[in-house]
């Protein structure tokens, strides 16, 4: 159990001009982890000294970022099975006080709306058309074309709130909903674009690589074929590569979300955020 009197005394010493004392106090408070956050936030509200406020804010961020790194590492090392959980962990980078259950419930609501209308004998194309109807028309999701570089496009909480996102987030939400309904839709790591593949999971697949067709979640769930991927790669002067046609791992998806965020914050001129997000990216190697 945390010693409240000691913590409060340490917080009062955070603005000490002696660097040695500050370092000792900083490290001691950091060692308390999440238990110290409530005391630090309370002290921040009562503080008038801008130096003390800045040091408290930085320390709270340091504690939260440390927990986030541990959680991301654990998610990755334990198999990265739950894509939604991985996306929520990344969301906490900008929104540490996130109501995770609220996000899970929002995803479940969309899934339920699809499930209510789903017919047992629906063909793969009919299933996708139904998801498209619910996702884009009933819930109003669309690609953020006007402000594509905005980092908010990469945070699940913001995409669920504004109904606008980038390619990777829209495709991720789409595939999570599909998989919850046992519809085999998975992300494909195409260069400069992120698409989805509808997989034929039967043993005797007549389709190459088991992919029946592709879906563009950024373009209202538009369905297209392998030849379109061939043409796209040709335009980019890229050679044929198996990975551009087949589903990627959940870890690959989280890497791509992080790279998008790094690019967004570089664009905004936020070197501290770029450095921290690179740290998170390195944890997935």
What is the per-residue pLDDT across 20-43, written as a single tens digit (0 to 9) for each?
Answer: 988 898 999 998 888 899 899 888
Sign of CA dihedral 111, 115, 120, 121: negative
Q: What is the pLDDT of residues 240-262, one digit of tens each?
A: 888 899 999 999 999 999 999 99
Q: Which of 216, 222, 167 is nearest to 196 (CA)?
A: 216
Q: Which of 124, 134, 7 is nearest to 63 (CA)?
A: 7
Cα 90–chain centre separation: 5
CA distance 226 to 197: 10
Q: What is the pLDDT of residues 74-99, one digit of tens each?
A: 999 999 999 999 999 999 999 999 99
CA distance 85 to 156: 11
Q: What is the pLDDT of residues 99-131, one digit of tens each?
A: 999 999 999 999 999 999 998 788 999 999 999
CA distance 125 to 213: 9
Q: Which of 175, 256, 278, 254 is nearest to 217 (CA)?
A: 175
């Amino acid at each position: 159990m945390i010693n409240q009197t000691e913590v409060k005394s340490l917080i009062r010493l955070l603005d000490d001009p002696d660097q040695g004392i500050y370092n000792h106090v900083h490290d001691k408070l950091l060692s308390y982890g999440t238990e110290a956050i409530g005391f630090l936030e309370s002290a921040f509200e009562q503080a008038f000294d801008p130096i003390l406020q800045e040091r408290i804010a930085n320390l709270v961020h340091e504690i939260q970022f440390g927990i986030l790194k541990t959680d991301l590492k654990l998610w990755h090392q334990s198999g990265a099975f739950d894509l939604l959980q991985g996306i929520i962990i990344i969301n906490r980078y900008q929104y540490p006080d996130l109501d995770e259950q609220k996000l899970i419930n929002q995803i479940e609501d969309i899934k339920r709306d699809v499930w209510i209308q789903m017919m047992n004998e629906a063909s793969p194309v009919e299933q996708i058309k139904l998801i498209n109807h619910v996702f884009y028309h009933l819930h109003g999701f669309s690609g953020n074309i006007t402000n594509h570089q905005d980092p908010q496009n990469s945070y699940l909480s913001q995409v669920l709130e504004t109904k606008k996102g980038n390619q990777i987030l829209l495709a991720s939400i789409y595939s999570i909903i599909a998989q919850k309904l046992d519809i085999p839709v998975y992300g494909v790591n195409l260069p400069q674009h992120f698409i989805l593949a509808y997989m034929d999971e039967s043993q005797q697949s007549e389709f190459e690589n088991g992919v029946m067709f592709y879906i563009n979640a950024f373009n209202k769930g538009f369905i297209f074929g392998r030849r379109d991927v061939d043409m796209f790669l040709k335009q980019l002067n890229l050679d044929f590569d198996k990975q551009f046609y087949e589903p990627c791992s959940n870890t690959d998806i989280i890497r791509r979300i992080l790279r998008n965020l790094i690019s967004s914050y570089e664009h905004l001129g936020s070197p501290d955020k770029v450095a921290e997000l690179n740290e998170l990216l390195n944890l997935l190697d």
